[in-house]
Amino acid sequence: MDKIEIHYDEKPDLDNPVFIEGLPGIGNVGKLAAEHLIDQLKGKKFADIISKHFPPQVVIEDNGVVRLVDNQLYYAKRDGANQDLVILTGDYQGLTPEGQYELSDFILGVLKELKVKRIFTLGGYGIGRMIKKPRVLGAATEESLVKEMKKLGVVFSRNEPGAGIVGASGLLLGMAKYYGMKSVCLMGETSGYFVDPKSAQAVLEILAKILDVTVNYDELEAKAKQIDSITARLKEIEAKVDQDEDLGYIG
């Protein structure tokens, strides 16, 4: 077994493909967004990437059959759009810095073969507090893209995120220039405490404008409501605990 291996179900014939990455990360924003997009555009899985850089683990599917944890590539053909999509999601990112670099490098090699010229990486930007209306922050491989994104409502804010971008969403941008690819990272604001479908929706709304696709958000909104009701209940419990403790002190 090589350090990283790709196993193709099929080699799709794609028209001017754009690549979208949404792997697990802060608030799982990128993964939620990528999975929702795959769902909405009826994406078809065409390859698995397995790697020694992932945890030594198998996932058990509902039918009792296992598969190695992996990253998965989907494509979505778009009739008449002259722009098909390749979407990456998966169970894990690489566990080590070296693994992260090697996986991003490997993926860019795969994309080059697929003749991808434009990349969008999706992620969350953790701000440590709950937020009503998440902004979508951006970063890009060149200034013309920054301008383009600003027009679409993406926020470019000095020192946000201050620590830069860690993981695949960052590396794919940073290494894209060695592959001659233009790349944008879209980061939805999120508390970082919960999976955040609302932030994923904010990111997708921007991406949908860029790609000119129609996306229905009912499912993400339903998930967001679930999360909201969980967090609300947690707050209630917390408030009650505080009250009880106060009474305790008085009693």
Per CB under 8 A, residues contacting a second copy are 1, 3, 52-60, 62-69, 94-95, 97-98, 100-102, 104-105, 138-143, 146, 156, 158, 161, 163-168, 170-171, 173-175, 178, 185
Contact by Cβ (8 Å): 82, 16: yes
Q: How far is CA 210 from the centre of its chain?
A: 16
81-118 in b/e form (b: 16+ CB < 10 A) is: eeebbbbbbbbbbbeeeebbebbbebbbebbeebebbb
**Least Å distance between CB 100 and a second copy?**
3
C-beta of 43 vs 94, nearer to a second copy: 94
Instruction: Give the residues across from 137 on adjacent strands.
Output: 155, 187
**Least Å distance between CB 54 and a second copy?**
7
C-beta of 31 vs 78, nearer to a second copy: 31
Q: Which residues contact 188 (CB under 8 A, 6 or more apart)?
A: 27, 29, 33, 122, 123, 124, 125, 134, 135, 136, 196, 199, 200, 202, 203
C-beta of 14 vs 49, nearer to a second copy: 49
Q: Which residues contact 42 (CB under 8 A, 6 or more apart)?
A: 76
Instruction: Give the residues across from 157 on adjacent strands.
Output: 160
C-beta of 68 vs 210, nearer to a second copy: 68
**Least Å distance between CB 158 and a second copy?**
6
C-beta of 41 vs 140, nearer to a second copy: 140
**Least Å distance between CB 220 and a second copy?**
22
DSSP 42: T
**Least Å distance between CB 214 and a second copy?**
28
